[in-house]
Each structure stands twice: as structure tokens, then as C-alpha cells.
């Protein structure tokens, strides 16, 4: 009976959004996931910042080869570099900032479920955006921007780490006797 009583208690805490469930989640998301995701998100912020500054200052000043298939200026000044009047560099920077906020250790431990959902959705949206932008670079512009590619790799890697962290967290909670 004591085990059943414990389960009922955990259930009430979970439904209320605080308590034992959050503590369990904290314990089950590995530290490497928290740190790797944070580093990747900060990398995205760094690249996004550089591209944003270059966009408004001098796009041709990007530290990037300007010959052959690699041509950052061609990509970052193309008509596809702006969405609804907002430069993609700014969108990427904003995405990086939000992902940073969602991947700090406190966010991984958050008891409110929407934090985990938004993290997962935004990381997935980033990966989907990568597919679109790679298509645009290869088939519409005909050039590759190295800085954009670095951002793409970061976004896909972050998507993977977030997925892994979410899976490990879920598996950890399921294996937790208090939540089994």
C-alpha cells in the first residue's frame, strides 16, 4: 500500500506541475546533454550575431571566400536572405537566443511542460529551416555560404541533442520506480 500511496502522490505533483516529477526530470537528463545543447545554442548566437552585424554593416566584409561555389556575400545579400522584411540573420540570432534560454540547465529541469515542448518544437523548426535554406543555396542561388553552413550544422546538431535529451529524460522517468 505504501508504494501505491507514493504513486498517487507523485501523480498529483505531476499534474500540478511541480514536485517529484520535476526532480526526477532533473536527475534523468544527463549533464552532457545539458552542456552540449547550451554550447551549441551559444554557438548559434555567436554565428547569428556575426551574420547580423555583417548584414547591417557590410555584407561583403564577411570573412569568407568569394570565389567558386563558396560565396557568402552572394547568399547573404540574395533576395532569399530576407523573410517578410526581416533578415534571416536576425531570425537566426533570435532563434539562437531563445534556444539558449531553453537549454540552460534550469530550463532542462523546468517543471512546466511547455518549456520542454517549445524546446523540442523550436529545435525541430531549426532543422526544417536548414533543409529549406540548403535547397535555396544549392538550387536557387547556386552558392554556399560557409557561415550559414556552420549555422546549419549547429542547428541540426542541436536538434539531435535535444531529441536525445528528451528521449533520455523520458526513459529515465519511465525507469524511475517512483514513476513506474
Residue ranges that bind another protein, judged by CB under 8 A: 1, 3-4, 7-8, 10-11, 14-17, 21-22, 24-25, 58-60, 66-69, 71, 73-79, 81-82, 85, 87, 113, 116-117, 124, 127, 130-131, 134-135, 138-143, 152, 156, 159-160, 163-164, 166-171, 173-174, 176, 179-180
- Minimum CB–partner distance for residue 73 and another protein (Å): 7
CB burial readout 127-150, b (16+ within 10 A) else e: bebbeebeebbeeebebbbebbbb
Q: How far apart are CA 150 and CA 70, in angstroms?
A: 13
- Residue (15 or 106) nearer to another protein, CB: 15
- Minimum CB–partner distance for residue 161 and another protein (Å): 9
- Residue (97 or 136) nearer to another protein, CB: 136
| Bridge partners for 71 per DSSP | 66
- Minimum CB–partner distance for residue 102 and another protein (Å): 14
- Minimum CB–partner distance for residue 98 and another protein (Å): 19
- Residue (28 or 96) nearer to another protein, CB: 28
DSSP secondary structure, 101-166, as one string: HHHSHHHHT-SSHHHHHHHHHHHHHHHHHHHHHHHIIIIII--B-HHHHHHHHHHHHHHHHHHHHH
- Residue (42 or 136) nearer to another protein, CB: 136
Instruction: Count the neighbouring beta carbons within 10 Å of the beta carbon of residue 70.
Output: 15
| Bridge partners for 82 per DSSP | 87
- Minimum CB–partner distance for residue 129 and another protein (Å): 11
Amino acid at each position: 500500500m505504501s508504494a501505491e500511496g507514493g504513486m498517487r502522490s507523485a501523480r498529483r505533483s505531476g499534474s500540478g506541475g511541480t514536485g517529484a516529477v520535476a526532480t526526477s526530470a532533473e536527475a534523468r537528463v544527463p549533464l552532457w546533454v545539458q552542456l552540449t545543447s547550451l554550447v551549441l545554442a551559444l554557438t548559434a548566437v555567436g554565428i547569428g550575431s556575426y551574420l547580423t552585424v555583417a548584414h547591417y554593416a557590410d555584407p561583403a566584409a564577411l570573412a569568407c571566400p568569394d570565389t567558386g561555389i563558396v560565396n557568402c556575400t552572394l547568399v547573404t545579400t540574395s533576395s532569399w536572405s530576407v523573410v517578410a522584411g526581416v533578415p534571416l540573420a536576425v531570425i537566426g540570432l533570435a532563434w539562437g537566443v531563445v534556444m539558449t534560454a531553453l537549454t540552460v540547465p534550469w530550463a532542462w529541469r523546468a517543471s512546466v511542460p511547455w518549456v520542454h515542448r517549445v524546446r523540442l518544437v523550436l529545435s525541430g523548426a531549426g532543422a526544417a529551416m536548414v533543409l529549406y535554406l540548403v535547397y535555396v543555396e544549392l538550387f536557387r542561388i547556386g552558392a554556399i555560404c560557409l557561415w550559414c553552413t556552420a549555422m546549419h550544422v549547429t542547428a541540426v546538431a542541436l536538434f539531435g541533442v535535444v531529441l536525445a535529451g528528451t528521449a533520455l529524460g523520458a526513459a529515465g522517468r519511465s525507469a524511475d520506480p517512483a514513476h513506474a
